[in-house]
Amino acid sequence: MNDKENGKKPRKTTGAITLREVANLAGVSTISVSRAINSPSLVTPKLLKKIQDVIEQTGYVPNRMAGGLASSKSKLIAAIVPSTVISVFNETIESLNGTLFDSGYQLMLGQSSYSIEREELLLESIIGRRPDGIFLTGVLQPGKGRNRLIASGIPVVETWDLTPTPIDMLIGFSHSDIGTAVAKFFIDKDHKNFAIVTADDERAERRTSAFCQTITDAGFKSPFIVNVGTTRTLRRGRDALNEIRAHSKKIDAVFCTSDLLAMGVVSEARDQRIQIPNQLAIMGFGNVPFISDLTPALSTVRINGKTIGETAARFLIERAEGHKVTPNILDIGFSLIERETTR
CB distance 319 to 134 below 8 Å = no
Q: How many CA atoms, within 13 angstroms, populate the side-chain half-sphere of residue 122? A: 21
Q: Which of 107-121, 198-212, 261-275, 284-298 has the lowest mean pLDDT?
A: 107-121
Q: What angle do CA 248, 253, 258 make, to 5 degrees?
A: 110
CA distance 277 to 49: 63
Domains along the chain with CATH numbers: 19-58 (no CATH), 76-173+305-334 (3.40.50.2300), 175-302 (3.40.50.2300)
Q: Which of 58-67, 151-160, 275-284 has the lowest mean pLDDT?
A: 58-67
Q: Which of 77-91, 190-204, 302-316 has the lowest mean pLDDT?
A: 77-91
Give pLDDT, residue 64.
55
3-state secondary structure of 301: strand
Nearest residue to 337 via CA among 178, 197, 172, 212: 178
Give pLDDT, residue 15.
60
Give pLDDT, residue 315.
97
Band (80; pLDDT cuts 50, 70, 90): very high
Alpha-helix runs per DSSP H in 103-232:
116-128, 144-152, 175-188, 202-217
Band (277; pLDDT cuts 50, 70, 90): very high
Angle between helices 144-152 and 116-128 (to 10 degrees): 20
Nearest residue to 199 via CA among 294, 105, 82, 74: 82
Q: What is the pLDDT of residues 197-234, one digit of tens each?
A: 999 988 999 999 999 999 999 999 999 999 999 888 99
Q: What is the pLDDT of residues 99-111, one digit of tens each?
A: 999 999 999 999 9
Q: What is the pLDDT of residues 169-202, one digit of tens each?
A: 999 999 999 999 999 999 999 999 999 999 998 8
**For residue 329, pLDDT beyond 60:** yes
